[in-house]
Amino acid sequence: MPKYDINDPTDLDIMRANFDLISHSDWDEYIEIATERNFGTKRINILRTASRKAGISKYLSPKVVNWVMELVDELDEEE
């Protein structure tokens, strides 16, 4: 995963676009995998929050979107 600079508008747009591409069913899969791997309550809860905001990243802060995308990349790498 590329490291995004949340203070750079271009990086922020790219990060939010990548977040918006993830569907509700994909989020459900990520949550299931994270639960199986005992990712911890805090990390699973932020994935659930992301699931509720799927496709509408503008309602999440840049820090949260960045954190969620890092978790998604971590889950993808382990598969």
Residue 22 within a domain: yes
Count of domains observed in the chain: 1
Give residues with Cβ within 8 angstroms of 62, minimum separation 6.
6, 12, 15
| 6-58: pLDDT as tens digits | 899 999 999 999 999 999 999 999 999 999 999 999 999 999 999 999 999 99
Range of 41's domain?
A: 9-78
Residue 70 within a domain: yes
pLDDT at 4: 85
pLDDT surpasses 80 at 62: yes
Look up residue 58 and give its DSSP letter: G
Helix (H) or strand (E) holding 19: helix 9-20
pTM for the structure as a whole: 0.88
If DSSP codes are grouped into helix, strand and coil, which group holds residue 74?
A: helix
